[in-house]
Chain A
Amino acid sequence: MTAWLTPRNAFVVALLVVLALVPVYAGLIGNYFLMSLFTRIVILAMAAVSLNLIMGFGGMVSFGHAAYLGIGGYAIGILAKEGINSGFVQWPLALAMSALFALAVGALSLRTRGVYFIMITLAFAQMVYYVAIGLDRYGGDDGMTIYKRSQFGDLINLSNKTAFYYLCLVLLLLAVYIVWRIVNSRFGMVIQGARSNDRRMRAIGFPTYRYKLVCFVIAGTICGLAGALLANHTDFISPAMMHWTRSGDLIVMAVLGGMGTVFGPVIGAVALLVLEEALSGVTEYWQIIIGPIFLLVVLFARGGIDGMLLGARRD
Chain B
Amino acid sequence: MTEALLRVEGLSKRFGGIVASDDINLLIPLGELHAIIGPNGAGKSTLIGQLAGELAPDFGRIGFGGHDITALPTYRRSQLGLARSFQITSLFPDFTVLDNVALAVQAHAGHSFHFWRAARREDALRGPARAALARVGLAERGDVLVSRLSHGEHRQLELAMALATSPRMLLLDEPMAGMGPDESARMVKTLRELKRDLTILLIEHDMEAVFALADRITVLVYGRTIASGTPEAIRANAEVRQAYLGEQEAVDG
Binding site for B on A (CB under 8 A): 181-182, 184-190, 192-193, 196-197, 199-208, 211, 214
Task: Give A149 Cβ to nearest chain B Cβ, in Å.
Answer: 31
The verdict on B104 contacting chain A, using a C-beta distance below 8 Å, is yes
Q: Given A197-B92, A199-B90, A204-B104: A187 and B115 within 8 A (CB)?
A: yes
Report yes or no: A182 in contact with B115, Cβ–Cβ below 8 A: yes
The verdict on B218 contacting chain A, using a C-beta distance below 8 Å, is no
Give the interface segment out of B16-24, B74-82, B221-229: B74-82
Give the interface segment out of B105-113, B136-144, B239-247: B105-113
Which residue of A188, A200, A207, A211 contacts B73 across the interface (Cβ within 8 Å)?
A207
Residues of A within 8 A of B165 (CB): 204-205
Residues of A within 8 A of B117 (CB): 185-186
Q: Given A196-B95, A202-B74, A203-B74: A189 and B116 within 8 A (CB)?
A: no
Report yes or no: A193 in contact with B92, Cβ–Cβ below 8 A: yes
5 A/B residue pairs, CB under 8 Å, sorted by A:
A185-B115, A190-B112, A200-B91, A203-B75, A205-B108
Task: Give A181 Cβ to nearest chain B Cβ, in Å.
Answer: 5
Residues of B within 8 A of A184 (CB): 118-120
A197 to B73, CA, bound (A): 17
Q: Which residue of B lies closest to A189 (CB)?
A: B119
Report yes or no: A187 in contact with B73, Cβ–Cβ below 8 A: no
The verdict on B83 contacting chain A, using a C-beta distance below 8 Å, is yes
Q: Which residue of B lies closest to A196 (CB)?
A: B92
Residues of A within 8 A of B84 (CB): 203
Residues of A within 8 A of B95 (CB): 192-193, 196
Q: Mark B22-66, 1 if CB is under 8 A from A, else 0.
A: 000000000000000000000000000000101000000000000
Task: Give B77 Cβ to nearest chain A Cβ, in Å.
Answer: 8
A179 to B251, CA, bound (A): 60
Residues of A within 8 A of B161 (CB): 200, 204
Of listed A185, A186, A199, A200, residue having the most chain B CB within 10 A: A186
Q: Mark B87-111, 1 if CB is under 8 A from A, else 0.
A: 0001111110001001110111000
Residues of A within 8 A of B113 (CB): 186-187, 211, 214
Which residue of A181, A199, A200, A201 contacts B116 across the interface (Cβ within 8 Å)?
A181
Which residue of B86, B118, B119, B122 contacts A200 across the interface (Cβ within 8 Å)?
B86
Q: Which residue of A lies closest to B78 (CB)?
A: A205
A203 to B53, CA, bound (A): 9
Residues of A within 8 A of B120 (CB): 184
Residues of B within 8 A of A214 (CB): 113
Residues of A within 8 A of B99 (CB): 189
Of listed B73, B118, B125, residue having the most chain A CB within 10 A: B118
Q: Which residue of A lies closest to B94 (CB)?
A: A196
Q: Which residue of A lies closest to B121 (CB)?
A: A184
A-B complex: 10 closest residue pairs judged by Cβ atoms: A205-B78, A205-B107, A186-B114, A196-B92, A202-B74, A186-B112, A204-B104, A186-B119, A204-B107, A200-B90
Q: Given A186-B106, A187-B113: A200 and B78 within 8 A (CB)?
A: no
A186 to B165, CA, bound (A): 16
Q: Which residue of B lies closest to A180 (CB)?
A: B118
Report yes or no: B103 in contact with A204, Cβ–Cβ below 8 A: yes
Report yes or no: A211 in contact with B112, Cβ–Cβ below 8 A: yes
Residues of B within 8 A of A207 (CB): 73, 75
Which residue of A187, A202, A204, A206 contacts B83 across the interface (Cβ within 8 Å)?
A204
Report yes or no: B107 in contact with A206, Cβ–Cβ below 8 A: yes
Residues of B within 8 A of A185 (CB): 114-119
Report yes or no: A181 in contact with B115, Cβ–Cβ below 8 A: yes
A190 to B119, CA, bound (A): 10
Residues of B within 8 A of A199 (CB): 54, 90
Residues of A within 8 A of B164 (CB): 204
Of listed B52, B106, B113, B115, residue having the most chain A CB within 10 A: B115
A192 to B75, CA, bound (A): 17
Report yes or no: A202 in contact with B118, Cβ–Cβ below 8 A: no
Report yes or no: A205 in contact with B79, Cβ–Cβ below 8 A: yes
Q: List 5 additional A-B contacts (Cβ < 8 Å) besides A186-B119, A199-B54, A205-B78.
A: A184-B119, A189-B106, A202-B75, A206-B112, A207-B73
Task: Give A265 Cβ to nearest chain B Cβ, in Å.
Answer: 19
Task: Give B153 Cβ to nearest chain A Cβ, in Å.
Answer: 17
Residues of B within 8 A of A205 (CB): 75, 78-79, 104, 107-108, 165
A211 to B113, CA, bound (A): 8
A203 to B79, CA, bound (A): 9
Task: Give A240 Cβ to nearest chain B Cβ, in Å.
Answer: 34
Report yes or no: B112 in contact with A187, Cβ–Cβ below 8 A: yes
A184 to B115, CA, bound (A): 8
Q: Given A185-B118, A186-B117, A196-B92: A204 and B78 within 8 A (CB)?
A: yes
A201 to B102, CA, bound (A): 12
Residues of A within 8 A of B54 (CB): 199, 203
Residues of B within 8 A of A203 (CB): 52, 54, 74-75, 78, 83-84, 86, 90
Report yes or no: B114 in contact with A187, Cβ–Cβ below 8 A: yes
Residues of A within 8 A of B74 (CB): 202-203
A188 to B161, CA, bound (A): 19
Residues of B within 8 A of A201 (CB): 103, 107
Which residue of B90, B107, B118 contacts A197 across the interface (Cβ within 8 Å)?
B90
